[in-house]
């Protein structure tokens, strides 16, 4: 007898464990019935498997029928994305707090030997935050993958913090330039571009790094189970 | 031998078929599918992909209720029971279908075809 639970889970990963259990039990009964009828094992397996793979939108229809669950996009994109964003924002807040204490300590210790450390301490929280980003990206991508997200969804969830920053900048810069006619922004467009790179581009690349392990496991999980 | 009913028509009748079966005894998904197929001589057949969305929809509407229980072979299966709301819904549903067939009969003379 095949491990139908593993097959259903691999085929329809977004379903709840209880539904997976129930569908697996159905397929187990179906295969047993065919075998008892005298169907050859390979044919019994193939006919049973067809029940599962015959309807590509089965998971969606079951979720809709149950109605008590959030929709698929929320599970595979918005929630994992928000988790990634929250982790990124919290890590930045913590690191800035630590940096404030360090900064105060270095200011108090007016030893010239510490001057270069003093200058570097301004950037330390930013670089430490960048190093945290792969973990935030992995969190988003992992949650999305676990909920059955495809490549676009788990990558989107992983780099979600950068997408939010990008959206904010895309909205704020034109507002500052065209509505507020902010003279600082207008005379420092180069700085704005650096800001875009520092708060969107670079963190995005680090977040993307965190999604890499999920790229590798992306198509491999289903293959052996449905052959 | 009965003609197999096309899926579009079968889907419409699924609610009546499932509630009628469960009014007699609690059954789990595979049994429901098999009994419908056997009792209609194969004319009505619900595969996994059509059966479970219907069962979950009926459960969401409070007409049936699923509970995990051991079956005769000692395996855990989710048995569906008809709820009191389901019992209440069944009679009007039967009447609706009777009226529907009666109307079709009058229109197309189905009994004499």
Do A51 and A93 lie in a common domain?
A: no
Which range, of A37-46, A108-117, B3-12, averages the lowest pLDDT?
A108-117
What is the count of structural domains for chain A? 2
Question: The whole model's pTM is what?
Answer: 0.57
Do A96 and A201 lie in a common domain?
A: yes
In chain B the domains, ranked by start, together with CATH numbers, are 7-112 (1.10.10.10)
Parent domain of A34: 4-69
Q: Tell me, what's the pLDDT at A178?
A: 82
Encode pLDDT of A32-51 as tens digits.
999 999 999 999 999 999 98
| Mean local confidence (pLDDT), A187-205 | 88
Which ipTM score applies to this complex? Answer: 0.86
Which chain B positions have a beta carbon within 8 Å of A68's beta carbon? 60
Q: Tell me, what's the pLDDT at A192?
A: 80
A61 touching chain B per CB within 8 A: yes
Q: Tell me, what's the pLDDT at A222?
A: 41
pLDDT level of residue A79 (50, 70, 90 thresholds)? very high
Distance, in Å, from the CA atom of B26 to the CA atom of B109, rounded to the nearest integer, reads 37
Please identify among residues 66-85 of chain B the ones whose CB lies closer than 8 Å to any CB of chain A: 66, 75-78
Strands lying side by side in the sheet with B76-82: B27-28, B76-82, B64-70
Question: Which residue in B has a C-alpha nearest to residue A49's C-alpha?
Answer: B48
Helix (H, G, I), strand (E, B) or coil at A159: coil
- Residue A191 in this model has a pLDDT that exceeds 90: no
| Nearest of A75, A210, A207, A57 to residue A153 by alpha carbon | A75
Encode pLDDT of A131-167 as tens digits.
999 999 999 999 998 887 888 999 999 999 999 999 9
For chain B, the average pLDDT equals 87
Which of B30, B49, B53 is nearest residue A54 as measured by Cβ atoms? B49
Do A126 and A54 lie in a common domain?
A: no
Residue that finishes a domain, picked among A69, A86, A119: A69
């Amino acid at each position: 007898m095949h491990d139908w639970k593993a097959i259903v889970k691999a085929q329809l990963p977004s379903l709840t464990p209880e539904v997976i259990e129930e569908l697996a039990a159905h397929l187990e009964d179906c295969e047993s019935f065919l075998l008892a009828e005298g169907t050859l094992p390979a044919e019994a397996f193939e006919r049973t498997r067809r029940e599962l793979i015959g309807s590509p939108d089965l998971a969606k229809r079951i979720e809709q029928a149950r109605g008590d669950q959030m929709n698929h996009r929320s599970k595979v994109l918005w929630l994992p994305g928000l988790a990634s964003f929250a982790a990124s924002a919290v890590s930045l807040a913590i690191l800035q707090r630590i940096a404030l204490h360090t900064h105060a300590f270095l200011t108090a210790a007016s030893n010239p030997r510490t001057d270069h450390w003093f200058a570097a301490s301004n950037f330390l929280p930013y670089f430490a935050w960048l190093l945290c980003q792969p973990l935030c990206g992995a969190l988003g991508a992992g949650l999305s993958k676990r909920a059955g997200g495809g490549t676009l969804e788990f990558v989107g969830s992983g780099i979600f913090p950068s997408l939010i920053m990008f959206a904010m900048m895309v909205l704020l810069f034109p507002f500052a330039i065209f509505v507020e006619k902010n003279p600082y922004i207008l005379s420092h467009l180069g700085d704005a571009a650096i800001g875009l790179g520092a708060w969107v581009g670079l963190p995005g690349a680090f977040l993307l790094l965190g999604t890499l392990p999920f790229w590798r496991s992306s198509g491999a999980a289903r293959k052996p189970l449905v052959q | 031998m009965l003609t197999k009913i096309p899926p579009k028509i079968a889907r419409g009748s699924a609610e009546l078929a499932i509630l009628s079966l469960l009014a007699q005894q609690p059954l789990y998904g595979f049994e429901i599918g098999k009994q419908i197929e056997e009792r209609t001589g194969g004319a009505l057949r619900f595969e996994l992909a059509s059966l479970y969305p219907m069962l979950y929809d009926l459960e969401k509407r409070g007409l049936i209720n699923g509970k995990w229980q051991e079956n005769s072979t000692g395996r855990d299966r989710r048995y569906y029971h008809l709820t009191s709301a389901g019992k209440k819904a069944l009679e009007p549903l039967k009447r609706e279908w009777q009226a529907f067939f009666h109307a079709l009969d009058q229109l197309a003379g189905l009994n004499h075809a």
